Structure 1
Amino acid sequence: MIDLPLSALEVAMVQNGTRAVDTLRDTTEFARRLDALGYRRLWYAEHHHSPAIGAFPPVVLTAHAAASTRAIRLGSGGVLAPNHAPIMLAEQFGTLAALHPGRIDLGIGRGPGTFHEPTARALRRGAGPTTDEEYRDDVAATLRLLLDEVALGPLPEPWLLSSSTAGAALAAELGLPIAFAHHIRPDNTLAALDHYRAHFSPSRWCEHPRVLVCVETVCAETPQEAARLAGPMNVIKASLLKGESDTPFPSPEEAARHQFTAQEEGALAAFLAHQAHGTPEMVLRRLTELAAATAADELMLVTPIYAVADRLRSYELVQQCSVPPTSPQR
């Protein structure tokens, strides 16, 4: 059994041939069901200009889900600091925290949220990529504004998202809990978390190091079904390996017809070895190993499965392997 709290990351994949509004409808059902299952938190990721991922602002999805659920914590995983003025982040998430006390998280990340350079520049009003110093200043300013200018009552819980040692160093410096993107850069996980714990400075936000690890998880009754459900995301990953970011999110049937090169198959197999795919027993074993290796306080599952019913079934199967309760802290 998994004895850590379980959470979820929603990346709002848009199924090939469907409309974005259909994905939005699915996100509502998804949030309600995870709330009923007892998952601790549900975060929304910021993406732009992608045919496979909806450009839905995390703050909007968080507000809608908070009004549609009862107990699960909700927030950004993450909202990307280079794309937003710190005062806007503080006001938006401060307002949400006041409306839904004890249920709102503000996960902050650095990336542009797109591989499309004109879109990235438009998000920053023509400015180039943010520097390390600019990013640090933006995060610090957001935290300061939450305390100094958002006098609405309960505050959101801030997290720093990271996929590198540099991000872990900033989380340690600012005394923030860290959410590590093991589902993106698994090779960086252990070194980054070691650095975070070794250099952590207690703060008003967090007295001790606190670690959440996000892992790609695809769970089904058989290994074959899990592999079939993982097929669409494998097509997206193979495209990204070639520098292509305009591939639609295919159905499992379309993905089954895709021809991968030997190099792509090798890269996908290497990535999969760090994630949690398979039957409940296989997923349980992998998540238990990852929890032990990282000494994580919490696991967040990202499950990029085509159909919402299959995606929810994956979360149900994993939840059945957890030690209750995994319900949100109030």
Structure 2
Amino acid sequence: MTTPALSVLDLVPVRTGQTSAQAIASSMQLAQHADALGLTRYWFAEHHNMPSVASTTPPVLIAAAAARTQRIRVGSGGVMLPNHAPLIVAEQFAALEALAPGRIDLGIGRAPGSDPVITHLLRQSGTTGDVDRFPAHVQDIAAMVQSDGATVRFTSGGEYGVKATPAASGSPTIWLLGSSDYSAQLAAAQGLPYVFANHFAGVGLERALDLYRSQFRPSETLDAPLTFLTANVVAAPSAEEAEARALPQLRAMARLRGNKPMRPLETVDEAQRGAAEHPDTQEQTLIDAMRQRWLIGEGAEVRSSLAAFAAQHGVDEIMMSPVAGAYDGEPLDAATGRAQTLDLLVA
């Protein structure tokens, strides 16, 4: 089996005792490391008001990562469009494209990326991105980032030109992201690249890919379906260490799905103590179900699993969410376990 190209999805995890500054510094180092290893792309997610996630503003993180790297594509996985005015998104990513020509990906999602309270706060100045108008807003962004821009037409017959930047020499690649049939069908209809959020959705991957591929309509920018897979991944020198490093994120996801209060990501040591001292049958059931879909193990084993996963679904790229946790003694401004995962999978 052919080894797929590898990319990274980063939520900028914040662990116990770590500041946001240290978490972001860790992710910047990891982006540089991914660049040096020859990985394909490095994307930042958008989530809000979560104690264990510092990826609240993808454009800022993308700009910082682009300035610290040379060749890797950097982008959003993704910008949650209902939280933002389409023109602002277009302007941000047109500027990013000008800063790092040919290296910017604009992944767009339809979910809010947080709870109803935060969604309300994000939209206090009015509806920024009406969900019902999502397809039109995607098309508007795609037009505004081009050199010719978009044209607003009035019922009176007048026209008004809108450009995201005055003189674009290139444009970011737009991807549609989602975890349902809706986004797969919309990407197909608009002739856009598409990614199913397999790393957290867990079900529906095969159907989404089939809908996207079977309904795809060629566009000016893409003549055939383009997609890749996402997966939660941990690789370590031993299977035992890999399982240990996966435990903090597994426990965090189980708390999220069990509607329990969220907190900073545990260290491996904290997670192991918590699992031993306070066993929770419901939590363990959720962990066991998620564990079956995550790729965890020694480097060679995970490399083989990635190749088989890519071959099974007919893709040549996998975007990893490297969810390896940290031990108590590891530096707060480095992502030791996550960097180790990348090293072992590129070896």
**TM-score (norm: length of structure 1):** 0.92
Once the two structures are superposed, what CA deviation does each residue of 1:297-329 show, in whole Å capped at 9, x if it has no partner? Answer: 311000122330111011110111xxxxxxxxx
Following TM superposition, by how much is the alpha carbon of 1:247 offset from its aligned partner in structure 2, in angstroms?
A: 2.4
Following TM superposition, by how much is the alpha carbon of 1:204 offset from its aligned partner in structure 2, in angstroms?
A: 1.9
Using the alignment, how far apart are the partners of 2:168 and 2:176 within structure 1?
A: 22
Contact 1:235–1:258 (CA under 8 A) maintained in structure 2: no
Unpaired runs of 5+ residues, structure 2, are 150-162, 327-334
Q: Does residue 232 of structure 2 align to residue 216 of structure 1? A: yes
Q: Does residue 295 of structure 2 align to residue 296 of structure 1? A: no
Call closer, same or farther: CA 1:55–1:310 in 2, change over 3 Å: closer
Following TM superposition, by how much is the alpha carbon of 1:126 offset from its aligned partner in structure 2, in angstroms?
A: 7.1
* 2:306 equivalent in structure 1: 287
Following TM superposition, by how much is the alpha carbon of 1:193 offset from its aligned partner in structure 2, in angstroms?
A: 0.3
Once the two structures are superposed, what CA deviation does each residue of 1:216-252 show, in whole Å capped at 9, x if it has no partner? Answer: 0000111110110011101111111211352221110
Query: How many residue pairs get matched?
Result: 319
The amino acid of 1:178's aligned partner reads Y
Secondary structure at 2:145 match in 1 = helix
* 1:135 equivalent in structure 2: 134
Using the alignment, how far apart are the partners of 1:164 and 1:244 within structure 2?
A: 25
Aligned pairs for 1:1-330 (under 5 A) are 2-115=2-115, 117-125=116-124, 133-147=132-146, 148=149, 149-150=163-164, 151-244=167-260, 246-259=262-275, 260-307=279-326, 308-320=335-347
Unpaired runs of 5+ residues, structure 1, are 321-330
The amino acid of 2:235's aligned partner reads C
Contact 2:55–2:61 (CA under 8 A) maintained in structure 1: no
Call closer, same or farther: CA 1:20–1:67 in 2, change over 3 Å: same
Following TM superposition, by how much is the alpha carbon of 1:162 offset from its aligned partner in structure 2, in angstroms?
A: 1.4
Using the alignment, how far apart are the partners of 1:145 and 1:194 within structure 2?
A: 30
Greater shift, 73-82 or 149-158, is seen at 149-158
* 1:327 equivalent in structure 2: none
Following TM superposition, by how much is the alpha carbon of 1:291 offset from its aligned partner in structure 2, in angstroms?
A: 0.7
Following TM superposition, by how much is the alpha carbon of 1:273 offset from its aligned partner in structure 2, in angstroms?
A: 1.7
Using the alignment, how far apart are the partners of 1:80 and 1:110 within structure 2?
A: 6
Contact 2:31–2:42 (CA under 8 A) maintained in structure 1: yes
Following TM superposition, by how much is the alpha carbon of 1:133 offset from its aligned partner in structure 2, in angstroms?
A: 2.7
Using the alignment, how far apart are the partners of 1:94 and 1:281 within structure 2?
A: 40
Following TM superposition, by how much is the alpha carbon of 1:129 offset from its aligned partner in structure 2, in angstroms?
A: 11
Contact 1:121–1:128 (CA under 8 A) maintained in structure 2: no
Call closer, same or farther: CA 1:131–1:85 in 2, change over 3 Å: closer
Using the alignment, how far apart are the partners of 1:26 and 1:263 within structure 2?
A: 33
Using the alignment, how far apart are the partners of 1:231 and 1:55 within structure 2?
A: 21
Call closer, same or farther: CA 1:296–1:100 in 2, change over 3 Å: same
Q: Percent identity?
A: 35
The amino acid of 2:198's aligned partner reads H
Following TM superposition, by how much is the alpha carbon of 1:275 offset from its aligned partner in structure 2, in angstroms?
A: 2.2
Using the alignment, how far apart are the partners of 2:128 and 2:77 within structure 1?
A: 20
Following TM superposition, by how much is the alpha carbon of 1:142 offset from its aligned partner in structure 2, in angstroms?
A: 1.3
Contact 2:97–2:171 (CA under 8 A) maintained in structure 1: yes
The amino acid of 2:343's aligned partner reads E
* 2:154 equivalent in structure 1: none
Using the alignment, how far apart are the partners of 2:90 and 2:67 within structure 1?
A: 20
Greater shift, 278-287 or 197-206, is seen at 278-287
Structure with more contact order per residue of length (Cα contacts < 8 Å, sep ≥ 6)? 1
Greater shift, 141-150 or 128-137, is seen at 128-137
The amino acid of 1:48's aligned partner reads H
The amino acid of 1:83's aligned partner reads N
Following TM superposition, by how much is the alpha carbon of 1:186 offset from its aligned partner in structure 2, in angstroms?
A: 2.4
